[in-house]
Every structure is written in structure tokens, then in C-alpha cells.
Amino acid sequence: MALLLHIETSTAVCSVALGKDGSLLALKETKEGMKHASQLSVFIDEILKENNLTPKDLDGLAISMGPGSYTGLRIGVSTAKGICYGANLPLIAINTLQAMTKPLQENATLQAQVKNPSKAYYCPMIDARRMEVYTAFFNQKIELVKDISADIIDENSYSKELHEREIIFFGDGSSKCKEVIKSKNGIFLDDVTPSAKGMIELAETKFQNQEFEDVAYFEPFYLKDFVATTPKKNIFNRI
């Protein structure tokens, strides 16, 4: 039984949720794109005030750990660490792809489309630019069955798996793959984005099992190293 704050900033979505005992109490989020720096603290403050809470009233804080946007993850984790330090709260890390998948487990509309739900794989995709996506496979129990990876998608991607079973593709990276992956076993869902509400049940389980992170040393799961690009034109004169 826990009162937990959940933060999701791994993509362009900025999302904060309050959960109690594994159920949603409040949600604030925007999908307008990379508003984390200006909106995250505002959402946290609003949710706490509207529920007559302070950080010290919480039992813990859950952060979406990635993979995803380098900048978004840094902002989310830095904010989470600050709150945990200040209020002496345990930190819980939730896999972003798993949190995207969890709400689909009980989606009646989706389940009606799937011929063999017990065998199907869920494949969340986060856009990693060009034809690359951050992805993994989960089974019906939301257990990881293919390791998280950065995959470059072409017409042969997942052909073996698609021959054997239905695969449900979703997330902001799946739309660009829809015209490339051609299979009767491929099911594509629109408008599925990371949200803090998808973290609630997963975080509650981790809290009960006391699966906490070291606040001082925890780092997001970037999957790929950040690469700074150099502008083609230098504004300074070269000698």
C-alpha cells in the first residue's frame, strides 16, 4: 500500500501522475512536445497542492528510466532525485517500454483484434530518428521476451517472429514502420504514447518488493550515448 508520484519525460510527452495502492488518483500531462523544463515542476506542484499533499506525505517516487530522449530523461531524473533527497523518499525506476505496454494488457478493443492473445507479442517503439527505433518484445504477461535494442527497420525486420505469431506495434516510432513492415500478423496501433499512468501498477509492485534505486548513483537508461553535433557553419572567423 503506497502513495507514489510518477514522472514520465522519456519522449516529447511530459507526464506526472499520483497513484495510491496501484490506482490512479491524478494525472497532468502535455503532448505538445519537449515542455519538460517548463512544465514538469509545475505539474508536480499542481498535483500535490490539489491533493493537499507535500513531498513528505509521499511513500516514494517513480521515474521512467528510458530508453528515450537524452534531454528529457536527464530533466526527469534530476527532478526526481531532488525530490527524493529533499523528502527522503525511495526512488523506483520503471522501464519506459514496459510502462507503454502495460495499459494495453486490459484493452478490450485491442484484444478483440488479436486472434491468439496468449501467443502475441507487444512491440512498443520509440522514435530514434530516421528508420531507427528503441524497442523490445513483451508477452501477454508484460514480461520481456526480446531484449531492449535500437533497431534499424526495413522490410525484413522481425520477419521470423511475424511468421510465427501476431505482433502489436505501437508508439511514436511505429508509424514510420507501418509502410515498411508488411505482414498479416502485424497489428499497428495509433496514438499510443508514454504516460505516467502506465507506470502506476508497475511501481506499486516494485515498492512492495522494495526494489529501490540508489538515489546518488542512479542514471537513466539511454541505450545509446549522447552525440553532440557540430554546426556546419562556424559563426567565428577562422584564422
Per-residue pLDDT tens over the stretch 83-106: 999 999 999 999 999 999 999 988
Matching fold, domains 3-96+194-208 and 98-188 = yes
Looking at residues 209-218, what average pLDDT do you find? 97
> What is the fold of 98-188?
Nucleotidyltransferase; domain 5 (3.30.420)
Q: What is the pTM of this model?
A: 0.90
- Distance (Å, whole) CA 7 – CA 36: 10
3-state SS, residue 107: coil
Looking at residues 232-239, what average pLDDT do you find? 42
CB 62 within 8 A of CB 6: yes
pLDDT of residue 103: 94
pLDDT of residue 108: 83
Closest to 15 in 3D by CA, of 128, 139, 103: 103
- Distance (Å, whole) CA 184 – CA 191: 21
- Distance (Å, whole) CA 65 – CA 80: 11
Architecture of domain 3-96+194-208 in CATH? 2-Layer Sandwich (3.30)
DSSP string, 155-218: TTTTHHHHHHS-EEEESTTTTTTTTT---TTEEE-SS----GGGGHHHHHHHHHTT--B-TTT-
- Cα distances (angstroms) measured from residue 42 to each of 14, 16, 32, 52, 118: 11, 10, 15, 15, 41
Residue 160 has pLDDT above 70, yes or no: yes
Domain ranges of the chain: 3-96+194-208, 98-188
Model confidence pLDDT, tens digit, residues 20-73: 999 999 999 998 888 899 999 999 999 999 999 999 999 999 999 999 999 999
pLDDT exceeding 90 applies to what percent of the chain? 83
